[in-house]
């Protein structure tokens, strides 16, 4: 009888340890802010530029009123900040968390924002006009638009889009006739410069399928959306990623695809997914562009 009791106690202790570890991993995946650093060299860059990339806040707060996030960003002294979508959830009651954060960041930094899928769903729901609210606090929102910006003697072309950069045909190849209206012409105009070109595209999927990376002449695409695979399995990687499905190849990091480099951040939150973030701390990306 005593042996049976010891087995039961042992099993209960084991379960308790596993539950505690899982709770810990989920907790750090929403609350322990991390930083990842990358460097890209280009002859188009005359003087080094420091970029900050963030995505997928999904109403998450890192510290009270995002104090920890703001302090981290300020400590990195970025020359410009890119926010690659999904600041709110589709069913957010309002946009106060993301607009308050952007207001604080805009005090010391130039902030560009491109819309993600939950941003678009939020706007369509009629709760409020997120784009106008972001612009009212100083953010530049780019939605199938681009701007040429001077930074430290460099001229950088910055664009923003959510649509796919390919046609909805059998091979997902670039095809004006099957692409979302206006996107082909927007991309043709965007790439028509000798300056360094950065496209904010919430979904990396928009640029990884078909012959997209062979057709469009874009130096860098910055994306989020996949939440770093949501659940990160040790020695395996991210569990799921948007249009890529299970065990995606492009879920986080810097990748070379023919003419295009794609930098994907795992983001800062995840909204109401079927599984919580796990073994997957929220991150900001510090990117240095150098000559």
Q: How many CA atoms lie within 13 A of 152 on its CB side?
A: 15
Residue 24 has pLDDT above 80, yes or no: no
245 and 32 Cβ atoms separated by less than 8 Å: no
CA–chain centroid gap for 169, Å, is 26
- Domains of the chain in start order, with CATH, are 32-290 (3.60.21.10)
Q: What is the pLDDT of residues 186-239, one digit of tens each?
A: 999 999 999 999 999 999 999 999 999 999 999 999 999 999 999 998 989 999
Residue 4 has pLDDT above 70, yes or no: no
Cα 76 from Cα 248, distance rounded (Å): 30
Q: What is the pLDDT of residues 43-88, one digit of tens each?
A: 999 999 999 999 999 999 999 999 999 999 999 999 999 999 999 9
255 and 262 Cβ atoms separated by less than 8 Å: yes
Average the pLDDT over 24-51 and give the result: 90
Task: Give the Å distances, CA to CA, from 20 to 17, 211, 272, 276.
Answer: 5, 46, 22, 15
Which pLDDT score, from 0 to 100, does residue 186 have? Answer: 96
Closest among 145, 136, 137 to 109, alpha carbons compared: 137
Token pair 């924002």 is at which residue?
Answer: 113
């Amino acid at each position: 009888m005593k042996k049976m009791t010891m087995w039961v106690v042992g099993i209960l202790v084991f379960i308790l340890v596993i539950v505690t570890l899982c709770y810990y991993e989920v907790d750090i995946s929403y609350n322990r802010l991390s930083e990842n650093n990358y460097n890209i060299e280009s002859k188009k860059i005359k003087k080094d530029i420091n970029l900050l990339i963030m995505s997928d806040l999904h109403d998450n707060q890192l510290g009270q009123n995002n104090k920890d996030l703001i302090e981290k960003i300020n400590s990195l002294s970025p020359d410009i900040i890119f926010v690659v979508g999904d600041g709110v959830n589709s069913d957010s009651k309002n946009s106060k968390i993301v607009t308050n954060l952007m207001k604080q960041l805009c005090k010391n930094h130039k902030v560009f924002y491109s819309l993600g899928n939950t941003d678009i769903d939020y706007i369509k729901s009629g709760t409020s006009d997120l784009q106008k609210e972001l612009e009212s606090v100083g953010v530049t929102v780019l939605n199938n638009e681009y701007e040429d910006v001077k930074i430290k003697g460099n001229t950088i072309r910055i664009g923003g889009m959510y649509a796919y950069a390919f046609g909805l045909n059998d091979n997902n190849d670039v095809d004006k006739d099957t692409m979302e209206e206006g996107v082909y012409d927007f991309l043709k105009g965007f790439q028509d410069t000798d300056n360094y070109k950065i496209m904010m595209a919430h979904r990396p999927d928009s640029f990884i399928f078909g012959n997209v990376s062979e057709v469009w002449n874009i130096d860098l695409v910055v994306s989020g959306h996949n939440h770093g695979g949501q659940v990160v399995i040790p020695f395996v990687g991210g569990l799921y990623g948007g249009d890529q499905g299970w065990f995606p190849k492009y879920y986080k990091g810097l990748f070379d695809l023919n003419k295009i480099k794609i930098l994907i951040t795992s983001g800062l939150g995840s909204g109401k997914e079927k599984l919580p973030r796990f073994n997957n701390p929220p991150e900001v990306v510090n990117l240095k562009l150098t000559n």
